[in-house]
Amino acid sequence: MVDFSLSENDERILDAMREQSRVVRRYARYYDDNENELPPDALPEVVNFRSPYKDVEFEEGIDTPRHVLHVLVSAIQAWGDYGVLMKRIGEGLGNGVLTAAGTDEQRARWQRCTLAIAMTEPGCGSDPKSIQTTAVRDGDEWVLNGEKIFVTAGCRAEGVVVAATVDKNLGYKGIKPFVVMKGMPGFEVSHREKKMGIRADDTATLLLNNVRVPGDHLLGACDDSAAGFRAIMTALNRNRPVVGVAGVGIASAALDFTREKLKEEGIEIVWGVGKQGRSAVQQELIEIEADIEAATLGLLHAAWVSGGNEWKARPTSIAKAKAGEVARTATQRCLALLGGLGLSREYLVEKWFRDARITDLYGGTGEIQRLIIARDILGYSSAELP
Ligand SMILES: Cc1cc2nc3c(=O)[nH]c(=O)nc-3n(C[C@H](O)[C@H](O)[C@H](O)COP(=O)(O)OP(=O)(O)OC[C@H]3O[C@@H](n4cnc5c(N)ncnc54)[C@H](O)[C@@H]3O)c2cc1C
């Protein structure tokens, strides 16, 4: 039976997370204004924060399964501040590829490092099969050449998992993940992106100019199977719900603020009367709330049916598509309700509007999620429905 009702333990965990998030939020404006500064590994007031799950004993059949509750916990973290939150996550997406494709020895060597992931190139984003970065075998080494753009944590990560093709004729089967560590000759961060949102999080362009990496920096085998490509896609797919949840958290922050401001003006939702008994503003608030609730339920459902294992593709894409869209539209609708106040830098709502945009872009755009859903429903391959 699907049940998303919250137990006392669940509520305790969420309350603890809200408290932490209120502290993180104090830093939101600072790192938005100072995009050139990366937040430190630990914010001073956050150093002693403990996992909200700590000391709360899980009761089977009463408490919400942890992997499901984690959707709500993460949304509250993003409600605090998504950009600052991102910085506090030690692992990068590249660590996911390492886990999926690395040997025990490789995992032991790099698991403690933050590894970013570099797929996107100037001519290749939504369609990762068209990667142009090359890896050519030379004795015991691989020689990598190419340019990677929009690499999250590209500046602060200690290393990057670079997707490169060992043979363009093999298509996606030729794409393999390589670990490239900072400081390797020929590997440089050539540009740090200035972004409209999530400015606390660094996004970089990386250049690979005859970068020589030892043979054992290839994750997985150099065969003509799709295993390497799949390992990269698995790590990206796992990140989809994380991005969707962030969208819901940001939208909730904007809605809470809007509600609060409208309340100060004497405008509150009147329940128990029909649509005809409410003002347009009250009705708009209800619709935004319902949309955020629908997106949240989609994510909870995706988590529930995935059972704590590999996220199931269709429900996850449905949840990500809905959450990304709601993040964009809910923050926009909140700005509209707030009038000029919504644009003032005195408040964070204009920042949430900017931060929200990314959630419908990375991890696969809304259009790409809808394509994945359509393929799954119709039973088409990506070649049949490109
Ligand atoms: C802040 C930020 C951080 C990022 N972090 C990373 C990272 O860490 N690692 C990484 O590798 N990449 C990262 N990216 C890249 C991101 O994943 C891509 O930007 C995204 O996949 C879209 O690719 P694109 O920008 O090339 O757009 P395109 O693929 O060119 O798409 C442009 C538009 O066309 C639409 N479109 C494309 N194909 C189709 C289709 N078949 N059907 C319908 N519509 C379609 C898209 O939805 C989009 O609206 C990041 C991007 C940003 C902005």
What's the angle, vertex CA 237, arms to CA 106 and CA 43, rounded to 5?
70
Which segment of 82-96, 143-157, 179-193, 279-293 scores lowest on mean pLDDT? 82-96
Residue 89 is predicted with a pLDDT of 58
Pocket test for ligand 1, best of 86, 117, 120 (most atoms within 8 A of CB): 120
Q: What percent of the chain has pLDDT over 70?
A: 98
Residue 83 is predicted with a pLDDT of 72
Q: Which residues pair with 179 in a beta bridge?
A: 161
How far, CA to CA in Å, does 375 sit from each of 36, 210, 325, 369?
41, 39, 20, 10
Whether residue 86 has pLDDT greater than 70: no
Residue 113 is predicted with a pLDDT of 94
- Tokens 């085998």 belong to 221
What's the angle, vertex CA 215, arms to CA 214 and CA 220, rounded to 5?
130
Whether residue 269 has pLDDT greater than 90: no
Mean pLDDT in residue range 257-286: 92
Q: Rounded to 5 degrees, what are φ and ψ at 210?
A: 50, 50
What's the angle, vertex CA 380, arms to CA 375 and CA 384, rounded to 5?
110
Pocket test for ligand 1, best of 203, 208, 359, 365 (most atoms within 8 A of CB): 365
Domain boundaries, the chain: 8-88, 93-228, 230-378
pLDDT tens track for 90-110: 678 999 999 999 999 999 999
How far, CA to CA in Å, does 176 sit from each of 94, 107, 168, 209?
13, 17, 11, 18
**H/E run at residue 72:** helix 66-88
Whether residue 47 has pLDDT greater than 80: no
**Distance between CA 213 and CA 133 in Å, rounded?**
14
Whether residue 130 has pLDDT greater than 60: yes
Q: Comparing C-alpha atoms, which of 2, 3, 87, 85 is closest to residue 37? A: 87
Question: What torsion do the CA atoms of 24, 27, 29, 32 make, to the nearest 10 degrees?
Answer: -100
Ligand 1 atom at minimal distance to the Cα of residue 201? 1
Residue 2 is predicted with a pLDDT of 85
Which segment of 40-44, 166-170, 299-303 scores lowest on mean pLDDT? 40-44
User: Residue 270 — pLDDT band, cuts 50, 70, 90?
Assistant: confident
Whether residue 50 has pLDDT greater than 70: yes
Whether residue 52 has pLDDT greater than 90: no
CA 196 from centroid of its chain's CA atoms: 16
Q: Comparing C-alpha atoms, which of 214, 212, 208, 11 is closest to residue 109? A: 214
Tokens of 204: 């970089």
Pocket test for ligand 1, best of 127, 150, 201 (most atoms within 8 A of CB): 150
Q: Verify whether ligand 1 is closer than 6 Å to residue 358 (CB atom).
A: yes
Question: In this structure, which residue's CA is closest to atom 52 in ligand 1?
Answer: 150
Mean pLDDT in residue range 252-280: 93
How far, CA to CA in Å, does 247 sit from each of 204, 226, 253, 302, 382?
22, 31, 10, 15, 27
Query: What CATH superfamily is the domain 93-228?
Result: Butyryl-CoA Dehydrogenase, subunit A, domain 2 (2.40.110.10)
Q: Give the fold, CATH level 3, of 230-378.
A: Butyryl-CoA Dehydrogenase, subunit A; domain 3 (1.20.140)
Higher pLDDT residue, 47 or 7?
7
Mean pLDDT in residue range 240-244: 93
- Compute the distance from residue 126 Cα to the ligand 1 centre, in Å: 5
**Distance between CA 341 and CA 141 in Å, rounded?**
58
User: Residue 46 — pLDDT band, cuts 50, 70, 90?
Assistant: confident
Contact 162, 148 (CB under 8 A): yes
**Distance between CA 246 and CA 74 in Å, rounded?**
7
pLDDT tens track for 165-179: 999 999 999 999 999
pLDDT tens track for 2-39: 889 999 999 999 999 999 899 889 999 999 999 988 87
**Distance between CA 295 and CA 162 in Å, rounded?**
32
For residue 275, the 8-state DSSP code is G
Residue 51 is predicted with a pLDDT of 83
Question: In this structure, which residue's CA is closest to atom 14 in ligand 1?
Answer: 150
First to last CA, the chain: 37
The residues, ordered by sequence, that sit 6+ positions from 97 with a Cβ below 8 Å of its Cβ are 115, 117, 161, 177, 219, 231, 232, 234, 235
Whether residue 40 has pLDDT greater than 80: no
Residue 1 is predicted with a pLDDT of 80
Q: Comparing C-alpha atoms, which of 14, 27, 2, 4 is closest to residue 348? A: 27
- Compute the distance from residue 349 Cα to the ligand 1 centre, in Å: 25
Whether residue 356 has pLDDT greater than 60: yes
- Judge if 93-228 and 230-378 fold alike in CATH terms: no
Whether residue 340 has pLDDT greater than 60: yes
What pairing do the DSSP bridges indicate for beta strands 134-138 and 141-152? antiparallel
**Distance between CA 226 and CA 174 in Å, rounded?**
7
- Compute the distance from residue 129 Cα to the ligand 1 centre, in Å: 13
pTM for this predicted structure = 0.94
Q: What percent of the chain has pLDDT over 90?
A: 80
The Cβ of residue 136 has, within 10 Å, a number of other Cβ atoms equal to 14
